Structure 1
Amino acid sequence: MATEWPLGRRIAYGADYNPEHWTQDVRDEDLVLMREAGVTTVTIGMWDWALLEPREGEYDFGWLDRLLDDLHAAGIDVDLGTPSAAPPAWFYATYPEARVLTRDGVPLGPGSRGAAAPTSPQYREACVRIASRLAERYADHPAVVLWHVHNEYGAPVCEDFSPHALVAFRSWLADRYGDLDGLNAAWGTTFWGQVYGTWDEVGLPGPTASIGNPSQQLDFARFSEHALRECYILERDAIRARASQPVTTNFMANECPAIDMHAWAPEVDIVSNDHYLTAADVDGHIGLALAADLTRSASGGAPWILMEHSTSAVNWQPRNVAKRPGEMARNSLAHVARGADAVMFFQWRASRFGAEKFHSAMVPHAGTSSRVFREVVELGRDLARLGEMQGTTVRSDVALLWDQQSHWAQGLEWRPSVDMDAQERTRTWYEQLWRDHLTTDLVRPTDDLGRYRLVVAPASYLLTEQAAANLTAYVAGGGTLVVAGFAAAVDETDTVHAGGYLAPLRTVLGVHVEEYLPLREGATAEVEWAPAGEWPTTLTNRVWQEHVVLDGAEVVATFASGPGAGLPAVTRHEHGAGTAWYVPAFLDVDGLAPVLAAAYADAGIVPPALPEGVEAVTRVGDGVEYTVLLNHTDSDVEVPVADAGAVHELLADLPVDGTVHLAAGGRAVLRATVPTPDPRG
């Protein structure tokens, strides 16, 4: 992903644009309003297959020619989408066998969004044809700076149980395991007499009398994602054969767990992400930060595109809460702070019809006299002032392990506790890092961890021997590792490790686990925190305990009640030049504070002294640092500024001396010059 940034030396700004919804007079007004709002980039074409190819093999590009010419004349760059997320009605009528089948065998037809069966040869051929025709026609159009394949792979359909999928699944398994002996061994088919004698006997994980084979279900999740990725690659390669602009597709980070962003990222030229606040989450800005950090991490630290977010409420949640004044700008700048070099919305103008007519937009139904549009214009001006940040990189303090395949496996049936949720544990541990004002990369357990002083593993149920060796070497080399409970239980086939739970981490953690001790629903217990200091001596534990046996580690905290009473709840072990912590207790955010504080001390990390609720993230360039400050509280705060050279606040264009005043809900962006390192050392 060493692609040159295609959107100019600026923070790009814009939206999905659907002019096909509007008459020509409205489109003409749109170009005027886009210039007023500071729009630099729009995404078009993703839902227009029926207009581009009204009948199979018959194409109409005239309207798109005119639209691209108009946008270019207005100085607006185009991210040109392929329409494969919305096959036209004629496709479904001509190729009914290409429809997605649900697990229960129900065919899904037109009338909504989504794709046909991703393994359908007819669908794949049709996608390549339309992508090829678009690339041939617009490869040299000056408006087109980026290609955008499909839309949000994995949403709303990630699994297909059609006959096409069955054939492709068997082929994928044969490639993965070589022969039936390999498959039977990986799936443990001697359990419950499931041994397969021919490939024709291998089926999809459909309805079963009791729980289905968990290894089969995990492989089907891998296969389903692989099939979607193959569709993307087919379109991408068709475009690359004809056009030179970079190619992307819009992910949904942690909002679409069917997609493994780290696995997809090498296939795109620029990583892009869609993010929408969860209305029920009162601290949605923390979930936003996690998604942005995950996107940046998948991008390898390179600039990425916030392809979609909302100006206010969405339309598809049970209760669609509107954003309050200033919240849209804070959300946008939070993404920029965490590495986004483009801020885009769904969509430019609110739709009057269709399923998303209650979704907010840059131009809402209330028009240009509305608060939302005034804030849109203000944000455009702010982003224009921040153009010099483009291309700078985020400085991270900590790594948090993120393994989507482990999350898939942990979420399968018949685990020790339904309450042991990988996403919840990841968010909880991440939230305490956020509250401690530490910027976090979300990395895979096999990645190079050497540059991080602290690595946290909040949900590593599935851990391969290779990953365990990597973590062990990281600690031996001087790193600090914190591992949460229910870790390293199984290998990549969902088979319990030889040697039992936690076996591949036994050496580095200095403990082993005899038994899992989950709590009953709603039950709580207590953890006695041994170290003296500012923290409470008793922490609340719920959901989970373990019978941990020491193999050289020291006890830092003990279960005071519950089935594990008297057993270790937090341990610490010195291994090589580093330290490893194990936390089999299920603690909430407040309970994690003393655990992480102790780990920070081992790692030599001193969290910055900032007011509670203030987000501070730094991006680094050549001889300059940019720190984005966001006040997520309802109170004014004063933020101290270190005397590290000339400091200037970019949004207000004012010098800073000593402190920055952040009004309730306020924001600031500080530029500080920093000494250039002497190359002679």
Structure 2
Amino acid sequence: MPFAAPHDRLPLAFGGDYNPEQWPEDVWEEDVRLMGEAGVTMVSLGIFAWSRIEPRPGEYDWDWLDRIIGMLHEAGIGVDLATPTVVPPAWFYRAHPRALPVTREGVRVAFGSRGAICHSDPDYRAAASAVTERLGERYGRHPAVVMWHVHNEYGAPVLACYCDTCAGAFRDWLQDRYGTLGALNRAWGTAFWGQLYGGWEEIGAPRATPTVANPAHQLDYQRFADGQARANFVAERDILHRLSPGVPVTTNFMAAPSQCASVDYWAWAREVDLVTNDHYLMTDGRRTHVNLALAADLTRSLAGGEPWLLLEHAPSGVNWQPHNPAKEPGRMARDSLGHVARGSEGAMFFQWRQSRQGAEKFHSAMLPQGGTGTRVWREVCDLGSRVADLGDLRGTRTRADVAMVWSWESWWAQSLEWRPSADLDARERLDAFYEALYDRHLTVDFFAPDAVAELDPARHPLLVVPQLYAVGLGVSAGLEQYVSRGGTLLVSFFSGIVDEHDTVHPGPYPGALRDVLGLTVEEFDPLLPGERVAVRTRDGGVLRADLWSEAVVTGSAETVAVFGDGRQAGRPALTRHALGEGAAWYLATRPTGDGLATVVDLALADAGITPADLPRDVELVVREGESGVFRFAINHTDAEVKVVLPDGSTAAVGPGAVEVFREPR
């Protein structure tokens, strides 16, 4: 079925979540008028409105929704219409209390927030399908509806439920996955600690146990929980496909790895018609613009390199972190256009009008409580004009330089209890390697592990694997193929250790990656908190490292650097393995300071990549297509910088500014 994405029916999307049900109707007319002033082209409507749409079981109130959709359509504003299934009404929970999720400790949570859903509950599933059906029947062919928005941020704040209904559904899921108890017992390693199962009814949800629960049991339950939520999305999507043909259906991801970590977005991306994402800055002292770039690159990668849409971000501060500073002047545009540079077909916000009540009343909005006399409002209007001026880049693609591998399933497995070090964190390694590449002004494409065999070394001459604990044998074959065809591979420690069941691969570590790396590891030797080791390179340089060391034995790999002291003194810390036309690098520790950048520079040079000569915290990102080339120069510093354009000329980019340089085809 062909789908007309929003950029095919509208200018670049600019607007935000609109919640008219929070306001008296005399405010609606002002809202629509001000949306016109700000250049709003689309709003997301009805996300939390189930109790207003269906105030009593089976009784629907459409009048208010008809009016506001009509007002928006008359003003030329498209509607991203939501199914409100993230918050069932109070009457629903009163009638169906078992639809409330149960924690791992066996406690059923209460109504009064959002996202309190057992995704296996048949009453919830029936009610969600029913309200979606009615919405589709009424608005499926309404000309204002340019996109459907199912649910909201699956996985926030909870995805897995541990109730008896889920336990029964989990047993069905396991029977489909394994077929026999014998296969399950072997995959889960239940011979350990005497956990052999003799009947399916003996298997429950992995609730709290006296000590560590079976990791394979926990890992499969995470897959199950993710799949149950995804099945509910698919059910609503299919209803809307039938009743609203040609209109894309999405749900908003939170793809930055720290958010909604329980969701495997590679699997979800295959189910949506358009990938959309929500992104909020983590104001904890980190260089937040680096995480923004990572989130945008990862979202574009989930979309297979196709355009995607930023469906939520904040105009200024949020209200749910311990400390919530306002964005400085110009930051709103810089953040928004940073997403556009990396593939978004617009910039949407949460939310249009700032709430006066409820949990998010101190969260910033496009129209602040201070009204149109505020700096935020002026910046919103300025940004609306800039987004409108970029309409001709619709459908262009962001050009990437290097590739990285990321796996939510491997992260789940690695994050379970009793690993060699409690400080191991795949997401921290992802951030660190991404930041090193960002500081070389390189744009990154991400790939799922099972997609590495498709990589073309000419297109992506460097592939970075920050940490991939769980690796199937097919992935290792794909990596060998990539390197043999001329690619440069850089792998960090604690990768290739187990299979999809959290079973250690036979033979010495690093299991599935031994052959491509040309080495073995006799044992892990994690460092204690505060412990440091030196790493000496063969050219005489000295790096410092912490967290991890290991007993590496080179086979066909050559040693590039060794541990200079500590328990592994003299053993390899960095190796290079020539394989076919390419090479695979292995880093057996965590460099501190500039050490990781030094390692990355070695791999980049081996791959023949010369980074752009730009100041730190200045981005140069390229989108290109039939309409031309668009170079986004984004200056995160407080000083003016000069960028060199392809024709040899230089252009100034002011402090904290974004400039877009266009080249016609």
Q: Would you say same fold, with TM above 0.5?
A: yes
Q: In terms of mean alpha carbon deviation, does 349-358 or 665-674 score higher? A: 665-674
Q: How far apart are the structure 1 equivalents of 2:651 and 2:345?
A: 25
CA contact (8 A) 1:431 1:589 kept: no
Equivalent in the alignment of 1:679:
none
Equivalent in the alignment of 2:654:
663
The alignment status of 1:497 with 2:505, answered yes or no, reads yes
Q: How far apart are the structure 2 equivalents of 1:353 and 1:588?
A: 46
SS, match of residue 629 in structure 1: strand
Equivalent in the alignment of 1:267:
271
Equivalent in the alignment of 1:59:
60
Q: Which runs of structure 2 are paired with 1:115-126 in the superposition (5 Å)?
A: 115-126=116-127
Equivalent in the alignment of 1:449:
455
Q: Which runs of structure 2 are paired with 1:71-90 in the superposition (5 Å)?
A: 71-90=72-91
The alignment status of 1:292 with 2:300, answered yes or no, reads no
Structure 2 letter corresponding to 1:527? V
SS, match of residue 301 in structure 1: coil
Equivalent in the alignment of 2:380:
376
Q: How far apart are the structure 1 equivalents of 2:158 and 2:123?
A: 18
Partner deviation per Cα, 1:305-332 (whole Å, 9 max, x = no partner): 1000000111111111211111111100
The alignment status of 1:335 with 2:336, answered yes or no, reads no
The alignment status of 1:471 with 2:479, answered yes or no, reads yes
Q: 1:346 to 1:62 in 2, by over 3 A?
A: same
CA contact (8 A) 2:590 2:596 kept: no
SS, match of residue 317 in structure 2: coil
CA contact (8 A) 2:442 2:611 kept: yes
Report how far residue 638 of structure 1 moved.
1.2
Partner deviation per Cα, 1:125-169 (whole Å, 9 max, x = no partner): 000000000000001111001100000000001110111100111
Partner deviation per Cα, 1:491-544 (whole Å, 9 max, x = no partner): 100000011321222121111111111000121111112236xxxx11110000
Q: How far apart are the structure 2 equivalents of 1:69 and 1:355?
A: 29
CA contact (8 A) 2:6 2:13 kept: no
Equivalent in the alignment of 1:595:
599
Q: 1:589 to 1:491 in 2, by over 3 A?
A: farther
CA contact (8 A) 1:78 1:143 kept: yes
Structure 1 letter corresponding to 2:658? R
Equivalent in the alignment of 1:655:
none
SS, match of residue 627 in structure 1: strand
Q: How far apart are the structure 1 equivalents of 2:481 and 2:527?
A: 34
SS, match of residue 300 in structure 2: helix
Report how far residue 6 of structure 1 moved.
2.4
SS, match of residue 526 in structure 1: strand
Equivalent in the alignment of 1:607:
611
The alignment status of 1:459 with 2:467, answered yes or no, reads yes
Report how far residue 9 of structure 1 moved.
5.5
Q: How far apart are the structure 2 equivalents of 1:528 and 1:145?
A: 59
Q: How far apart are the structure 2 equivalents of 1:108 and 1:72?
A: 40
Q: How far apart are the structure 2 equivalents of 1:211 and 1:659?
A: 60
CA contact (8 A) 1:84 1:115 kept: no
Report how far residue 281 of structure 1 moved.
3.7
Partner deviation per Cα, 1:605-624 (whole Å, 9 max, x = no partner): 11111111101110111272
CA contact (8 A) 1:296 1:302 kept: yes
Equivalent in the alignment of 1:652:
none
CA contact (8 A) 1:445 1:471 kept: no
Q: How far apart are the structure 2 equivalents of 1:427 and 1:230?
A: 31
CA contact (8 A) 2:504 2:511 kept: no
Q: How far apart are the structure 1 equivalents of 2:322 and 2:463?
A: 36
> How high is the sequence identity, in percent, across the aligned residues?
51
CA contact (8 A) 2:352 2:365 kept: yes
Q: How far apart are the structure 1 equivalents of 2:19 and 2:252?
A: 17
Q: Which runs of structure 2 are paired with 1:210-221 in the superposition (5 Å)?
A: 210-221=211-222
Match for 2:521 among 501, 513, 519? 513
Q: How far apart are the structure 2 equivalents of 1:563 and 1:663?
A: 50
- How many positions carry a matched residue from both structures? 657
CA contact (8 A) 1:456 1:481 kept: yes
CA contact (8 A) 1:2 1:269 kept: no
The alignment status of 1:524 with 2:513, answered yes or no, reads no
SS, match of residue 486 in structure 2: coil
SS, match of residue 289 in structure 1: helix
TM-score normalised by L of structure 1: 0.95
Q: How far apart are the structure 1 equivalents of 2:593 and 2:62?
A: 54
Q: How far apart are the structure 2 equivalents of 1:302 and 1:115?
A: 33
Q: How far apart are the structure 1 equivalents of 2:208 and 2:531?
A: 33
Partner deviation per Cα, 1:566-588 (whole Å, 9 max, x = no partner): 11110001001111000011124
Partner deviation per Cα, 1:195-242 (whole Å, 9 max, x = no partner): 000001111111111110011111111111011101101111111121
Partner deviation per Cα, 1:70-101 (whole Å, 9 max, x = no partner): 00001000000001000000000001122111
CA contact (8 A) 1:15 1:345 kept: yes
Partner deviation per Cα, 1:370-411 (whole Å, 9 max, x = no partner): 000000000001111111111100111111100110000111
SS, match of residue 669 in structure 1: strand
The alignment status of 1:247 with 2:249, answered yes or no, reads yes
Report how far residue 589 of structure 1 moved.
6.0
The alignment status of 1:581 with 2:585, answered yes or no, reads yes
Q: Unaligned regions of 5+ residues in structure 1, if any? A: 645-657, 675-681
Partner deviation per Cα, 1:48-91 (whole Å, 9 max, x = no partner): 11111111111111111111110000100000000100000000
Structure 1 letter corresponding to 2:113? S
Structure 1 letter corresponding to 2:465? A
The alignment status of 1:409 with 2:439, answered yes or no, reads no
CA contact (8 A) 1:428 1:589 kept: no
The alignment status of 1:50 with 2:58, answered yes or no, reads no
Q: How far apart are the structure 1 equivalents of 2:424 and 2:108?
A: 33
Partner deviation per Cα, 1:150-191 (whole Å, 9 max, x = no partner): 000000011101111001111111111111011101100000
Report how far residue 637 of structure 1 moved.
1.2
CA contact (8 A) 1:80 1:147 kept: yes
Structure 2 letter corresponding to 1:664? P
Q: How far apart are the structure 2 equivalents of 1:528 and 1:196?
A: 51
The alignment status of 1:358 with 2:359, answered yes or no, reads no
CA contact (8 A) 2:393 2:627 kept: no
Q: In terms of mean alpha carbon deviation, does 327-336 or 102-111 score higher? A: 102-111
CA contact (8 A) 2:498 2:511 kept: no
Q: How far apart are the structure 2 equivalents of 1:481 and 1:282?
A: 28
Report how far residue 31 of structure 1 moved.
0.8
Q: 1:2 to 1:664 in 2, by over 3 A?
A: farther
Report how far residue 3 of structure 1 moved.
3.6
Report how far residue 631 of structure 1 moved.
0.6
Equivalent in the alignment of 1:195:
196
SS, match of residue 356 in structure 2: coil
SS, match of residue 590 in structure 2: coil
Q: How far apart are the structure 1 equivalents of 2:598 and 2:162?
A: 48
Equivalent in the alignment of 1:439:
443
Q: How far apart are the structure 1 equivalents of 2:520 and 2:153?
A: 41
Partner deviation per Cα, 1:237-264 (whole Å, 9 max, x = no partner): 1111211111000010022111111110
CA contact (8 A) 2:634 2:657 kept: yes
Match for 1:317 among 312, 321, 324? 321
Q: In terms of mean alpha carbon deviation, does 203-212 or 401-410 score higher? A: 203-212
Equivalent in the alignment of 1:395:
399
Q: Please provide the CA RMSD for this pair.
A: 1.2
Partner deviation per Cα, 1:584-641 (whole Å, 9 max, x = no partner): 1112462111211111122111111111110111011127211111111111111122
CA contact (8 A) 1:428 1:588 kept: no
Q: How far apart are the structure 2 equivalents of 1:620 and 1:361?
A: 32
Equivalent in the alignment of 2:37:
36
CA contact (8 A) 2:10 2:78 kept: no
Report how far residue 5 of structure 1 moved.
2.3
Structure 2 letter corresponding to 1:195? L
Q: How far apart are the structure 2 equivalents of 1:578 and 1:515?
A: 27
